[in-house]
Amino acid sequence: MNSKLYLAENVLNERHTVTYRSLSRSLKVHANRAKQILYEFHRTENAKRPHSVHATYVISGVQKPTAPPATNGHTKDEDEVMQSSPYLPSSMPNQEAASDVVSIASILLVREEDLEDAKATFESVKTIHVYSVQAAPLQDLNTLTTVCRELALTSTQDDPLECGSQWGMIQNRDVKRRSGTRPPPAAKAATTAKPESTVPAKRSLATKESAVRQENKPDESQPTSDSQSSVKSSSKSAAPQKGKSNLFSSFAKTKPPKPKHADSQATHSGADDVVPDDASEDDAEELFPESGDKAPSTNRETKKEREEKLKKMMEEEDADDEEMADADEEPQREPTPEEQPPPPPPSKAAELKEEVTVHGGRRRGRRQVMKKKTVKDEEGYLVTREEATWESFSEDEPAPPKKKPAVNVAKAKGKPTGQGNIMSFFGKK
């Protein structure tokens, strides 16, 4: 069955978190049905292997008045509301109106482990349904929001006015939307991390009409997610990717998309590379130490090595020639891609081809981007020399420890060159 396959692949193999809404969107089923599918999946999988799948639930209903402390004691001082009105000494009209008890319904998200505890706090439970399933218990429920945001980004090409009924959204007959100004599809993806994870798998499993859709509007689907297009047709998307890698690398923290790792990305855990930008990134990395990327790690390592080689070469170069004229650089840099035969066995022909383009893109990216990157990573260095900003470009955010020495080398080498510059200047005179 389609849904079982989808869930097995996403939850068990790729260890993604699947919410009922993401399931509903990718399989184009009603949200209520998606809830049932998740429940069924959770039940059957745990019957096969206990604790292989964990779920979160949503409980709605009326909580008991002695609710958790977060409730601010509404019930407590409800009847004191209008005790006296010092503003208007003569007016005390509405004692009885003030004491009307307002009904408070609660909608709570609960972990599987806490479900019984949570139910105990309810006076009456209206509904319980599965919110999400995932392979490991969630330490932090907030990680679910990344799934939701990802959903919002990936599903921009689905017009909610058309697809809403499929998902079970409440329809509205009176919606007024201006034609012409179609919302730009996920242009904002540049600011947040690229939703690389769920898209490929979804698309590959997705129904045919989605493929048709994408063919109909290629201009929309391509900028939306390049990892998706890389799965579908690598050759077709080569050109935009080249352009994109440049563009993306120029943004400070985002990882440039690595199309050649389409397969590895798919196995990569969704949680730790889709964590949105800033401070939360480190935490998320620590939270998911085990949601491992065994498969991509090898690929990544080799890539890091290559990068390092390239970097060292560049370092040596700028240690050597002090002028660093642009004209000199061009020919020297030229051979680098050829000098670096990719150490890992090239699994696909397409992979190799794209590598070259990416290298080209990266090289160019270096020169353009360097200024920003330098500011971020080595501030001390910036102070000493401003013109050599290009040399310290770090491509990936989660840098392996190997990278550190390389950076230090850069520093160590950079400083002497700066002084050497002056010395040679005086020497020449």
Partner 1 sequence: MTATEDYGYLRPPSDEKYDAVYRQPSSYNPLHTFTLPMGSDRHYQQQYGDMYFLRLAKLKPAVEKIATDAWGELTIAGESARRVDRVLDVRQGELCWMAGTVYMDMPLKPNILEDLTKETFTSAPPPRRTYTDPSNPSATQIMVEDESGRIRLTGNLLLSTQLATGVIIAALGTETVDGEFEVIDIKVPDLAPQPERWARGRLLPAESKEAGQEKSGKSGKIAFISGLGITGSSSDTLALELLSDYLLGYTGIDDSADPSRITRLIIAGNSLGASVTADAAATTADNAVKKKLAPKKYGYDASAYNSSPITQLDNFLAELLPSIPVTLMAGESDPANFSLPQQGIHRAMFPRSRAYCAPPSTGDNKQEVGWFDSVSNPWEGDVEGWRLWGCSGQNVDDVLRYLDFPSDDVDPVVDRDDSEARLRIMEAMLRWRCGVPTAPDTICRSLIMQRGRRNFLLITIPIGSYPFQTIDPFILESSPHIFFTGNQPVFKTTVIEAEGPFRLDGDMEMKDSDADTLNSRVRILSIPRFKDTGELILVDTETLEVEVIRFGAFAGQEEKK
Q: Site residues for partner 1, window 278-317 (CB under 8 A)?
A: 278-280, 284
Token output for 53? 């799948």
| Member of 2, 13, 83, 297 binding partner 1 (CB under 8 A) | 83
Site residues for partner 1, window 18-37 (CB under 8 A)? Answer: 20-21, 24, 30-33, 35-37
| Member of 48, 66, 172, 429 binding partner 1 (CB under 8 A) | 172
φ and ψ of 55, to 5 deg:
-130, 155
Closest CA relative to residue 134, chosen from 13, 263, 262:
13
State in angstroms the smallest separation of the CB of 131 from partner 1: 9
Residue 186, number of CB atoms within 10 A of its CB: 20
Token output for 163? 């697809």
Amino acid at 26: S
Q: How many residues bind partner 1 (CB under 8 A)?
A: 118
Residue 95, number of CB atoms within 10 A of its CB: 11
φ and ψ of 390, to 5 deg:
-70, -25
> Angle at CA 55, nearest 5°, toward 51 and 59?
140
Closest CA relative to residue 271, chosen from 280, 258, 262:
280
Integer Cα distance of 19 and 173 in angstroms: 28
| Member of 8, 113, 239, 282 binding partner 1 (CB under 8 A) | 113
Site residues for partner 1, window 320-379 (CB under 8 A)? Answer: 375, 379
Q: Which x/- pattern, by CB under 8 A, does the window 117-156 give for partner 1?
A: xxx-x---xxxxxx------xxxxxxxxxx-xx--xx--x
Integer Cα distance of 428 and 262 in angstroms: 53
Site residues for partner 1, window 182-221 (CB under 8 A)? Answer: 182-184, 187-188, 191-192
Query: In this complex, which beta carbon is closest to partner 1, that of residue 121 or of residue 421?
Result: 121
3-state secondary structure of 175: coil
**Binding of partner 1 by 2 (CB under 8 A):** no
State in angstroms the smallest separation of the CB of 320 from partner 1: 28
State in angstroms the smallest separation of the CB of 332 from partner 1: 29
Site residues for partner 1, window 368-427 (CB under 8 A)? Answer: 375, 379, 382-383
Site residues for partner 1, window 242-281 (CB under 8 A)? Answer: 251-252, 275-280
Integer Cα distance of 288 and 294 in angstroms: 13
State in angstroms the smallest separation of the CB of 259 from partner 1: 24
| Member of 28, 75, 82, 415 binding partner 1 (CB under 8 A) | 82
Integer Cα distance of 315 and 337 in angstroms: 16
| Member of 47, 50, 102, 429 binding partner 1 (CB under 8 A) | 102
Check if the beta carbon of residue 186 is closer than 8 Å to that of residue 153.
Answer: yes
State in angstroms the smallest separation of the CB of 112 from partner 1: 9
State in angstroms the smallest separation of the CB of 200 from partner 1: 22
Query: In this complex, which beta carbon is closest to partner 1, that of residue 36 or of residue 210?
Result: 36
Strand order through the sheet with 122-134:
18-19, 122-134, 54-63
Among the candidate windows 159-167, 220-228, 290-298, 300-308, which touches partner 1 by CB under 8 A? Answer: 159-167
